[in-house]
Amino acid sequence: MMKYISTRGQMAPIGFQDAVMTGLAPDGGLLLPESLPDVSDRLEAWSKLSYTELAFEVISLFATDIPAADLKKLIDDSYATFNHPEVAPSVQVGDFEILELFHGPTLAFKDVALQFLGNLFSYILEKRGGKLNILGATSGDTGSAAIHGVRGKPNINIFIMHPAGRTSPLQEKQMTSVLDANVFNLAVDGTFDDCQNIMKTTFGDVDFKTGHSLGSVNSVNWARVLAQTVYYFYSAFQTGAKSVQFSVPTGNFGDILAGYLAQQMGLPIGKLILATNENDILSRFFNTGVYGMADVVSTISPSMDIQVASNFERYLYFKVGQDAEKLVGLMNDFKEKGSLKVELNENGVVDDLFVAGKGDTAATLETIKRYKDEYGYVLDPHTAVGVLVAEKFQMEESPTICLATAHPAKFTQAIIDATGEAVHHPTLDALADAETRCDPIANDIDAVKQYLVGHI
Protein backbone atom coordinates (compact mmCIF):
# COMPACT_ATOMS: atom_id res chain seq x y z
CA MET A 1 0.00 0.00 0.00
CA MET A 2 1.54 3.31 -1.08
CA LYS A 3 0.99 6.11 1.42
CA TYR A 4 1.47 9.84 1.00
CA ILE A 5 3.02 12.31 3.41
CA SER A 6 3.41 16.09 3.51
CA THR A 7 6.74 17.82 2.83
CA ARG A 8 6.10 19.77 6.06
CA GLY A 9 5.74 16.62 8.14
CA GLN A 10 2.52 17.44 10.00
CA MET A 11 0.07 15.09 8.29
CA ALA A 12 -0.68 11.43 9.06
CA PRO A 13 -0.01 9.32 5.93
CA ILE A 14 -2.96 8.97 3.51
CA GLY A 15 -3.77 6.77 0.51
CA PHE A 16 -3.63 7.69 -3.18
CA GLN A 17 -7.30 8.58 -3.65
CA ASP A 18 -7.24 10.85 -0.61
CA ALA A 19 -4.03 12.43 -1.90
CA VAL A 20 -5.71 13.20 -5.22
CA MET A 21 -8.74 14.77 -3.54
CA THR A 22 -6.65 16.72 -0.99
CA GLY A 23 -4.39 18.63 -3.36
CA LEU A 24 -2.45 20.75 -0.86
CA ALA A 25 -1.74 19.17 2.56
CA PRO A 26 -3.54 20.71 5.58
CA ASP A 27 -0.15 21.82 7.00
CA GLY A 28 0.51 23.86 3.86
CA GLY A 29 2.97 21.33 2.44
CA LEU A 30 2.88 19.30 -0.76
CA LEU A 31 2.16 15.59 -0.90
CA LEU A 32 4.80 13.02 -1.80
CA PRO A 33 4.87 9.24 -1.64
CA GLU A 34 6.41 7.92 1.57
CA SER A 35 9.09 6.24 -0.52
CA LEU A 36 9.87 5.94 -4.22
CA PRO A 37 9.95 2.47 -5.77
CA ASP A 38 13.17 1.34 -7.48
CA VAL A 39 12.20 0.20 -10.97
CA SER A 40 15.72 -0.40 -12.36
CA ASP A 41 15.13 -4.10 -12.91
CA ARG A 42 11.90 -3.50 -14.85
CA LEU A 43 13.22 -1.02 -17.40
CA GLU A 44 14.10 -3.72 -19.93
CA ALA A 45 10.57 -5.18 -19.87
CA TRP A 46 8.94 -1.74 -19.78
CA SER A 47 10.83 -0.61 -22.86
CA LYS A 48 8.65 -2.85 -25.03
CA LEU A 49 5.32 -1.42 -23.89
CA SER A 50 2.93 0.99 -25.60
CA TYR A 51 2.37 4.38 -23.99
CA THR A 52 -0.81 3.35 -22.18
CA GLU A 53 0.61 -0.01 -21.10
CA LEU A 54 3.62 1.77 -19.66
CA ALA A 55 1.42 4.39 -18.00
CA PHE A 56 -0.45 1.58 -16.28
CA GLU A 57 2.79 -0.02 -14.99
CA VAL A 58 4.15 3.27 -13.63
CA ILE A 59 0.93 4.66 -12.17
CA SER A 60 -0.16 1.36 -10.58
CA LEU A 61 2.92 1.49 -8.33
CA PHE A 62 1.53 4.69 -6.81
CA ALA A 63 -2.24 4.25 -7.12
CA THR A 64 -2.38 1.11 -5.02
CA ASP A 65 -5.93 1.74 -3.79
CA ILE A 66 -7.45 1.55 -7.29
CA PRO A 67 -8.18 -1.96 -8.64
CA ALA A 68 -6.04 -2.82 -11.68
CA ALA A 69 -8.93 -3.16 -14.14
CA ASP A 70 -10.37 0.22 -13.10
CA LEU A 71 -7.00 1.93 -13.38
CA LYS A 72 -6.40 0.43 -16.79
CA LYS A 73 -9.72 1.80 -18.03
CA LEU A 74 -9.02 5.24 -16.52
CA ILE A 75 -5.71 5.40 -18.36
CA ASP A 76 -7.06 4.09 -21.66
CA ASP A 77 -9.93 6.62 -21.56
CA SER A 78 -7.55 9.47 -20.71
CA TYR A 79 -5.27 8.96 -23.70
CA ALA A 80 -7.96 7.95 -26.21
CA THR A 81 -8.61 11.70 -26.60
CA PHE A 82 -5.11 12.22 -28.04
CA ASN A 83 -4.86 12.52 -31.79
CA HIS A 84 -1.63 10.55 -32.19
CA PRO A 85 -1.52 6.73 -31.86
CA GLU A 86 1.71 6.93 -29.83
CA VAL A 87 0.26 9.63 -27.50
CA ALA A 88 3.71 11.20 -26.99
CA PRO A 89 5.84 10.58 -30.10
CA SER A 90 9.44 11.75 -30.53
CA VAL A 91 10.82 13.13 -33.77
CA GLN A 92 14.45 13.74 -34.58
CA VAL A 93 15.12 17.39 -35.43
CA GLY A 94 18.77 18.35 -35.92
CA ASP A 95 20.77 17.10 -32.95
CA PHE A 96 17.74 16.59 -30.73
CA GLU A 97 14.85 14.28 -30.15
CA ILE A 98 11.75 16.47 -29.89
CA LEU A 99 9.21 14.85 -27.57
CA GLU A 100 5.82 16.07 -28.79
CA LEU A 101 3.55 16.37 -25.77
CA PHE A 102 0.94 18.45 -27.60
CA HIS A 103 -1.33 15.89 -29.22
CA GLY A 104 -4.09 16.21 -26.62
CA PRO A 105 -7.37 18.15 -26.95
CA THR A 106 -5.94 21.61 -26.16
CA LEU A 107 -2.56 21.06 -27.90
CA ALA A 108 -0.44 21.61 -24.77
CA PHE A 109 1.39 19.19 -22.51
CA LYS A 110 -0.97 19.95 -19.62
CA ASP A 111 -3.50 17.64 -21.30
CA VAL A 112 -1.30 14.63 -20.45
CA ALA A 113 -1.99 15.21 -16.77
CA LEU A 114 -5.39 16.90 -16.83
CA GLN A 115 -7.14 14.33 -19.02
CA PHE A 116 -6.09 11.74 -16.43
CA LEU A 117 -6.93 13.92 -13.42
CA GLY A 118 -10.43 14.67 -14.77
CA ASN A 119 -11.20 10.97 -15.15
CA LEU A 120 -9.68 10.23 -11.77
CA PHE A 121 -11.84 12.85 -9.99
CA SER A 122 -14.90 11.47 -11.69
CA TYR A 123 -14.02 7.88 -10.71
CA ILE A 124 -13.37 8.74 -7.07
CA LEU A 125 -16.57 10.80 -6.75
CA GLU A 126 -18.58 7.97 -8.25
CA LYS A 127 -17.16 5.53 -5.67
CA ARG A 128 -17.46 7.84 -2.70
CA GLY A 129 -20.44 9.95 -3.60
CA GLY A 130 -20.36 13.71 -3.40
CA LYS A 131 -19.72 16.52 -5.80
CA LEU A 132 -16.78 18.66 -6.78
CA ASN A 133 -16.95 22.28 -7.86
CA ILE A 134 -13.64 23.27 -9.39
CA LEU A 135 -12.73 26.94 -9.24
CA GLY A 136 -9.73 28.22 -11.13
CA ALA A 137 -8.12 31.36 -12.52
CA THR A 138 -6.22 31.30 -15.76
CA SER A 139 -4.30 33.56 -18.07
CA GLY A 140 -4.62 30.96 -20.82
CA ASP A 141 -3.29 27.41 -21.09
CA THR A 142 -4.16 25.77 -17.79
CA GLY A 143 -7.80 26.84 -17.87
CA SER A 144 -8.55 25.28 -21.21
CA ALA A 145 -6.72 22.03 -20.38
CA ALA A 146 -8.66 21.82 -17.09
CA ILE A 147 -11.98 22.50 -18.82
CA HIS A 148 -11.30 19.82 -21.42
CA GLY A 149 -10.30 17.42 -18.62
CA VAL A 150 -13.69 17.54 -16.87
CA ARG A 151 -16.21 18.61 -19.53
CA GLY A 152 -19.40 16.57 -19.44
CA LYS A 153 -18.44 14.66 -16.28
CA PRO A 154 -21.23 13.93 -13.81
CA ASN A 155 -20.77 15.26 -10.24
CA ILE A 156 -18.24 17.88 -11.38
CA ASN A 157 -18.72 21.54 -12.27
CA ILE A 158 -15.87 23.75 -13.38
CA PHE A 159 -15.74 27.53 -13.02
CA ILE A 160 -12.78 29.18 -14.73
CA MET A 161 -12.14 32.91 -14.40
CA HIS A 162 -10.10 34.73 -17.01
CA PRO A 163 -9.36 38.45 -17.28
CA ALA A 164 -11.87 39.85 -19.80
CA GLY A 165 -10.17 40.90 -23.02
CA ARG A 166 -6.68 40.10 -21.73
CA THR A 167 -6.38 36.47 -22.78
CA SER A 168 -5.33 35.74 -26.36
CA PRO A 169 -8.47 35.41 -28.55
CA LEU A 170 -7.49 31.86 -29.49
CA GLN A 171 -6.99 30.76 -25.89
CA GLU A 172 -10.25 32.40 -24.89
CA LYS A 173 -12.09 30.50 -27.62
CA GLN A 174 -10.50 27.21 -26.55
CA MET A 175 -12.29 27.73 -23.24
CA THR A 176 -15.54 29.43 -24.18
CA SER A 177 -16.34 27.09 -27.08
CA VAL A 178 -16.84 24.22 -24.64
CA LEU A 179 -20.61 24.22 -24.26
CA ASP A 180 -21.11 21.34 -21.81
CA ALA A 181 -23.59 22.20 -19.07
CA ASN A 182 -20.98 21.69 -16.30
CA VAL A 183 -18.54 24.26 -17.73
CA PHE A 184 -18.75 27.92 -16.69
CA ASN A 185 -16.43 30.54 -18.13
CA LEU A 186 -16.30 33.82 -16.23
CA ALA A 187 -14.80 36.87 -17.90
CA VAL A 188 -13.74 39.01 -14.95
CA ASP A 189 -13.59 42.75 -15.45
CA GLY A 190 -9.99 42.94 -14.20
CA THR A 191 -6.49 41.48 -14.54
CA PHE A 192 -5.18 37.94 -14.06
CA ASP A 193 -4.00 38.97 -10.58
CA ASP A 194 -7.55 40.07 -9.76
CA CYS A 195 -8.81 36.63 -10.84
CA GLN A 196 -6.21 34.94 -8.68
CA ASN A 197 -7.07 37.12 -5.71
CA ILE A 198 -10.74 36.24 -6.01
CA MET A 199 -9.80 32.57 -6.14
CA LYS A 200 -7.46 32.72 -3.14
CA THR A 201 -9.92 34.69 -1.05
CA THR A 202 -12.75 32.32 -1.92
CA PHE A 203 -10.63 29.27 -1.00
CA GLY A 204 -9.55 31.09 2.17
CA ASP A 205 -13.19 31.21 3.31
CA VAL A 206 -13.13 27.70 4.76
CA ASP A 207 -16.86 27.53 5.49
CA PHE A 208 -17.71 28.54 1.95
CA LYS A 209 -15.11 26.18 0.52
CA THR A 210 -16.26 23.08 2.39
CA GLY A 211 -19.93 24.04 2.24
CA HIS A 212 -19.79 24.15 -1.54
CA SER A 213 -17.24 21.33 -2.11
CA LEU A 214 -14.79 23.64 -3.84
CA GLY A 215 -11.69 22.07 -5.29
CA SER A 216 -8.86 23.01 -7.57
CA VAL A 217 -6.85 21.41 -10.35
CA ASN A 218 -3.65 23.35 -9.83
CA SER A 219 -0.27 21.92 -10.64
CA VAL A 220 0.54 20.77 -7.12
CA ASN A 221 -1.93 17.88 -7.38
CA TRP A 222 0.13 14.71 -7.04
CA ALA A 223 -1.75 12.91 -9.84
CA ARG A 224 -0.57 15.55 -12.31
CA VAL A 225 3.09 15.04 -11.47
CA LEU A 226 2.65 11.28 -11.52
CA ALA A 227 1.04 11.22 -14.98
CA GLN A 228 3.96 13.27 -16.29
CA THR A 229 6.64 10.80 -15.15
CA VAL A 230 5.40 8.34 -17.77
CA TYR A 231 6.68 10.17 -20.83
CA TYR A 232 10.18 10.43 -19.41
CA PHE A 233 10.36 6.65 -19.35
CA TYR A 234 8.59 6.26 -22.68
CA SER A 235 10.73 8.72 -24.65
CA ALA A 236 13.98 7.44 -23.11
CA PHE A 237 13.07 3.90 -24.23
CA GLN A 238 12.33 5.13 -27.77
CA THR A 239 15.95 6.28 -28.20
CA GLY A 240 17.32 2.81 -27.41
CA ALA A 241 20.22 4.54 -25.62
CA LYS A 242 21.65 3.53 -22.23
CA SER A 243 21.29 7.03 -20.85
CA VAL A 244 19.63 10.25 -22.00
CA GLN A 245 19.39 13.93 -21.14
CA PHE A 246 16.19 15.95 -21.01
CA SER A 247 15.66 19.63 -21.68
CA VAL A 248 12.54 21.00 -20.03
CA PRO A 249 10.96 24.46 -20.54
CA THR A 250 10.07 25.30 -16.97
CA GLY A 251 7.59 27.49 -15.09
CA ASN A 252 6.02 25.90 -12.02
CA PHE A 253 8.60 23.08 -11.89
CA GLY A 254 5.90 20.39 -12.26
CA ASP A 255 7.15 18.97 -15.52
CA ILE A 256 10.85 18.76 -14.67
CA LEU A 257 10.02 17.44 -11.18
CA ALA A 258 8.42 14.44 -12.90
CA GLY A 259 11.75 13.86 -14.69
CA TYR A 260 13.61 14.12 -11.40
CA LEU A 261 11.33 11.50 -9.84
CA ALA A 262 11.79 9.18 -12.85
CA GLN A 263 15.55 9.49 -12.34
CA GLN A 264 15.22 8.80 -8.61
CA MET A 265 13.23 5.66 -9.48
CA GLY A 266 16.11 4.37 -11.59
CA LEU A 267 15.70 5.76 -15.11
CA PRO A 268 19.25 6.52 -16.33
CA ILE A 269 19.18 10.30 -16.91
CA GLY A 270 22.56 11.99 -17.32
CA LYS A 271 21.38 15.57 -17.03
CA LEU A 272 18.14 17.44 -16.58
CA ILE A 273 18.46 20.73 -18.43
CA LEU A 274 16.21 23.33 -16.81
CA ALA A 275 15.28 26.14 -19.20
CA THR A 276 13.50 29.36 -18.24
CA ASN A 277 12.59 32.56 -20.05
CA GLU A 278 13.36 35.97 -18.51
CA ASN A 279 11.48 34.82 -15.40
CA ASP A 280 14.54 32.95 -14.22
CA ILE A 281 14.18 32.31 -10.49
CA LEU A 282 14.77 28.58 -11.05
CA SER A 283 17.76 28.84 -13.36
CA ARG A 284 19.33 31.31 -10.91
CA PHE A 285 18.68 28.83 -8.10
CA PHE A 286 20.42 25.90 -9.77
CA ASN A 287 23.40 28.07 -10.67
CA THR A 288 23.82 29.94 -7.36
CA GLY A 289 21.91 28.10 -4.63
CA VAL A 290 19.79 31.22 -3.98
CA TYR A 291 16.06 31.06 -4.65
CA GLY A 292 15.04 34.71 -4.68
CA MET A 293 11.85 36.42 -5.79
CA ALA A 294 11.74 38.94 -8.60
CA ASP A 295 8.90 40.63 -10.48
CA VAL A 296 7.14 38.65 -13.18
CA VAL A 297 7.66 39.99 -16.69
CA SER A 298 5.44 39.12 -19.67
CA THR A 299 7.11 37.13 -22.44
CA ILE A 300 6.21 35.26 -25.62
CA SER A 301 6.25 32.01 -23.59
CA PRO A 302 3.46 33.03 -21.17
CA SER A 303 3.03 29.63 -19.52
CA MET A 304 6.51 30.07 -18.06
CA ASP A 305 5.90 33.60 -16.76
CA ILE A 306 6.14 32.49 -13.16
CA GLN A 307 8.42 33.51 -10.32
CA VAL A 308 7.28 31.37 -7.41
CA ALA A 309 7.28 27.80 -8.70
CA SER A 310 4.56 25.88 -6.91
CA ASN A 311 6.20 22.45 -7.25
CA PHE A 312 9.68 23.55 -6.19
CA GLU A 313 9.04 22.62 -2.56
CA ARG A 314 8.90 18.95 -3.55
CA TYR A 315 12.41 19.09 -5.00
CA LEU A 316 13.69 21.07 -2.03
CA TYR A 317 12.39 18.36 0.30
CA PHE A 318 14.63 15.81 -1.40
CA LYS A 319 17.49 18.29 -1.50
CA VAL A 320 17.43 18.64 2.32
CA GLY A 321 17.46 14.87 2.76
CA GLN A 322 13.68 14.52 3.28
CA ASP A 323 13.97 16.45 6.52
CA ALA A 324 10.62 18.21 7.02
CA GLU A 325 11.97 20.46 9.75
CA LYS A 326 14.78 21.78 7.56
CA LEU A 327 12.32 22.24 4.70
CA VAL A 328 9.96 24.28 6.89
CA GLY A 329 12.92 26.46 7.95
CA LEU A 330 13.80 27.21 4.32
CA MET A 331 10.19 27.92 3.36
CA ASN A 332 9.90 30.31 6.31
CA ASP A 333 13.05 32.10 5.13
CA PHE A 334 11.47 32.48 1.73
CA LYS A 335 8.22 33.76 3.18
CA GLU A 336 9.94 36.28 5.45
CA LYS A 337 12.82 37.47 3.27
CA GLY A 338 11.68 36.61 -0.25
CA SER A 339 14.67 34.32 -0.66
CA LEU A 340 16.19 31.10 0.59
CA LYS A 341 19.62 29.59 0.17
CA VAL A 342 21.06 26.07 0.01
CA GLU A 343 24.70 24.98 0.17
CA LEU A 344 26.51 24.29 -3.09
CA ASN A 345 28.21 20.93 -3.46
CA GLU A 346 31.94 20.29 -4.04
CA ASN A 347 31.46 21.01 -7.75
CA GLY A 348 30.06 24.44 -6.96
CA VAL A 349 26.49 23.64 -8.01
CA VAL A 350 23.23 22.80 -6.24
CA ASP A 351 22.84 19.37 -7.84
CA ASP A 352 25.05 17.51 -10.32
CA LEU A 353 21.95 16.18 -12.08
CA PHE A 354 20.73 19.64 -13.09
CA VAL A 355 22.11 22.28 -15.41
CA ALA A 356 20.10 25.44 -15.96
CA GLY A 357 19.95 28.42 -18.26
CA LYS A 358 17.61 31.04 -19.65
CA GLY A 359 16.57 32.17 -23.09
CA ASP A 360 15.31 35.69 -23.75
CA THR A 361 12.76 36.81 -26.34
CA ALA A 362 15.28 37.66 -29.06
CA ALA A 363 17.06 34.32 -28.73
CA THR A 364 13.74 32.48 -28.69
CA LEU A 365 12.55 34.12 -31.91
CA GLU A 366 15.93 33.44 -33.51
CA THR A 367 15.75 29.78 -32.54
CA ILE A 368 12.25 29.37 -33.95
CA LYS A 369 13.38 30.87 -37.25
CA ARG A 370 16.61 28.86 -37.41
CA TYR A 371 14.87 25.51 -36.82
CA LYS A 372 12.27 26.31 -39.43
CA ASP A 373 14.92 27.36 -41.99
CA GLU A 374 17.31 24.48 -41.29
CA TYR A 375 14.96 21.61 -40.54
CA GLY A 376 11.49 22.70 -41.63
CA TYR A 377 10.24 22.19 -38.06
CA VAL A 378 8.38 24.94 -36.20
CA LEU A 379 8.97 25.08 -32.43
CA ASP A 380 6.46 26.85 -30.20
CA PRO A 381 8.05 29.62 -28.05
CA HIS A 382 8.17 27.47 -24.88
CA THR A 383 9.80 24.56 -26.65
CA ALA A 384 12.23 26.95 -28.34
CA VAL A 385 13.47 28.14 -24.93
CA GLY A 386 14.19 24.52 -24.01
CA VAL A 387 15.98 23.88 -27.29
CA LEU A 388 18.17 26.96 -27.15
CA VAL A 389 19.25 26.27 -23.58
CA ALA A 390 19.92 22.62 -24.51
CA GLU A 391 22.23 23.78 -27.30
CA LYS A 392 24.49 25.33 -24.66
CA PHE A 393 24.78 22.11 -22.68
CA GLN A 394 24.68 19.47 -25.34
CA MET A 395 26.98 16.56 -24.62
CA GLU A 396 28.06 14.15 -27.32
CA GLU A 397 27.68 10.82 -25.53
CA SER A 398 23.95 10.57 -24.99
CA PRO A 399 20.82 11.69 -26.85
CA THR A 400 19.13 14.86 -25.67
CA ILE A 401 15.34 14.82 -25.59
CA CYS A 402 13.71 18.26 -25.73
CA LEU A 403 10.19 18.39 -24.37
CA ALA A 404 7.83 20.12 -26.81
CA THR A 405 5.17 21.50 -24.48
CA ALA A 406 2.78 23.19 -26.93
CA HIS A 407 1.83 23.17 -30.59
CA PRO A 408 3.14 26.27 -32.39
CA ALA A 409 -0.31 27.07 -33.80
CA LYS A 410 -1.33 28.15 -30.29
CA PHE A 411 1.09 31.06 -30.36
CA THR A 412 0.36 32.67 -33.71
CA GLN A 413 1.85 36.10 -33.11
CA ALA A 414 5.22 34.84 -31.87
CA ILE A 415 5.48 32.44 -34.79
CA ILE A 416 4.66 35.21 -37.28
CA ASP A 417 7.20 37.50 -35.61
CA ALA A 418 9.85 34.78 -35.86
CA THR A 419 9.19 33.33 -39.30
CA GLY A 420 6.84 35.71 -41.13
CA GLU A 421 3.99 33.23 -41.40
CA ALA A 422 1.49 31.50 -39.15
CA VAL A 423 1.22 27.78 -38.48
CA HIS A 424 -2.21 26.17 -38.59
CA HIS A 425 -3.87 23.31 -36.78
CA PRO A 426 -7.33 22.00 -37.75
CA THR A 427 -8.51 21.95 -34.11
CA LEU A 428 -7.78 25.65 -33.74
CA ASP A 429 -8.97 26.64 -37.22
CA ALA A 430 -12.32 25.04 -36.38
CA LEU A 431 -12.73 27.47 -33.47
CA ALA A 432 -13.13 30.45 -35.78
CA ASP A 433 -16.86 29.88 -36.26
CA ALA A 434 -17.50 27.97 -33.05
CA GLU A 435 -20.40 28.92 -30.83
CA THR A 436 -19.24 30.22 -27.44
CA ARG A 437 -20.65 30.69 -23.96
CA CYS A 438 -19.17 32.99 -21.34
CA ASP A 439 -20.55 35.17 -18.57
CA PRO A 440 -19.10 38.60 -17.85
CA ILE A 441 -18.73 39.28 -14.15
CA ALA A 442 -17.62 42.16 -11.94
CA ASN A 443 -14.16 42.16 -10.37
CA ASP A 444 -15.75 41.41 -7.02
CA ILE A 445 -15.47 38.44 -4.67
CA ASP A 446 -19.12 38.53 -3.63
CA ALA A 447 -20.29 38.62 -7.24
CA VAL A 448 -18.26 35.49 -7.98
CA LYS A 449 -19.46 33.72 -4.84
CA GLN A 450 -23.04 34.56 -5.70
CA TYR A 451 -22.53 33.21 -9.21
CA LEU A 452 -21.12 29.96 -7.81
CA VAL A 453 -24.01 29.50 -5.41
CA GLY A 454 -26.48 30.17 -8.19
CA HIS A 455 -24.98 27.62 -10.56
CA ILE A 456 -23.96 24.76 -8.26
Position 357 contacts ligand PLP (CB under 6 A): no
Q: Pick the closer one to ligand PLP by CB: 20 or 256.
A: 256
CA distance 98 to 368: 14
Confirm if 315 and 289 have CB atoms less than 8 A apart. Answer: no
Position 304 contacts ligand PLP (CB under 6 A): yes
Residue count, binding to ligand PLP (CB under 6 A)? 17
Question: Which of 97, 255, 278, 351 is in the footprint of ligand PLP by CB under 6 A?
Answer: 255
Position 100 contacts ligand PLP (CB under 6 A): no
Position 251 contacts ligand PLP (CB under 6 A): yes
Q: Pick the closer one to ligand PLP by CB: 233 or 312.
A: 312
CA distance 16 to 11: 14
Q: What is the CA radius of gyration of the chain?
A: 21
Reported as half-sphere exposure (CB side, CA atoms, 13 A), residue 248 has a value of 27
Position 315 contacts ligand PLP (CB under 6 A): no
Q: How many residues are listed for the chain in this entry?
A: 456
Position 105 contacts ligand PLP (CB under 6 A): no
Residues numbered 359-418 forming contacts with ligand PLP, rule: CB under 6 A? 382, 405-406
For the CB of residue 367, give the shortest distance to ligand PLP in the complex, in Å.
15
The three-point CA angle 291-297-298 to 5° equals 135
Question: Which of 106, 303, 367, 419 is in the footprint of ligand PLP by CB under 6 A?
Answer: 303
Position 277 contacts ligand PLP (CB under 6 A): no
CA 368 from chain centre, in angstroms, equals: 23
Neighbours of 214 (CB within 10 A): 20
> With CB under 6 A as the contact rule, which of the stretches 18-26, 64-72, 104-112, 284-292 interacts with ligand PLP?
104-112
Closest CA to 94 of 366, 375, 368: 375
Confirm if 182 and 122 have CB atoms less than 8 A apart. Answer: no
Q: Pick the closer one to ligand PLP by CB: 29 or 249.
A: 249
Q: Is 110 a catalytic residue?
A: yes
Question: Which of 8, 103, 110, 407 is in the footprint of ligand PLP by CB under 6 A?
Answer: 110
Residues numbered 200-219 forming contacts with ligand PLP, rule: CB under 6 A? 219
For the CB of residue 348, give the shortest distance to ligand PLP in the complex, in Å.
25
Q: Where are the beta strands (DSSP E) in 240-341?
A: 244-249, 269-276, 290-292, 339-341
Question: Which of 116, 159, 253, 354 is in the footprint of ligand PLP by CB under 6 A?
Answer: 253
Confirm if 254 and 311 have CB atoms less than 8 A apart. Answer: yes
For the CB of residue 276, give the shortest distance to ligand PLP in the complex, in Å.
9
> With CB under 6 A as the contact rule, which of the stretches 61-69, 248-256, 262-270, 392-400 interacts with ligand PLP?
248-256
DSSP output for 363-409 = HHHHHHHHHHHHHS-PPPHHHHHHHHHHHHH--SSS-EEEEE-B-GG
Binding mask 139-158 for ligand PLP (x = CB under 6 A): --x-----------------
Residues numbered 417-436 forming contacts with ligand PLP, rule: CB under 6 A? none
Task: Name, in order, each residue with C-beta under 8 angstroms of 153's C-beta and a sequence gap of 6 or more.
Answer: 118, 119, 121, 122, 182
Q: Where are the beta strands (DSSP E) in 261-319?
A: 269-276, 290-292
Catalytic entry in 3, 110, 319, 335 = 110
**Catalytic machinery residues:** 110
* Positions in the binding site for ligand PLP (CB under 6 A): 108-110, 141, 219, 249-255, 303-304, 382, 405-406
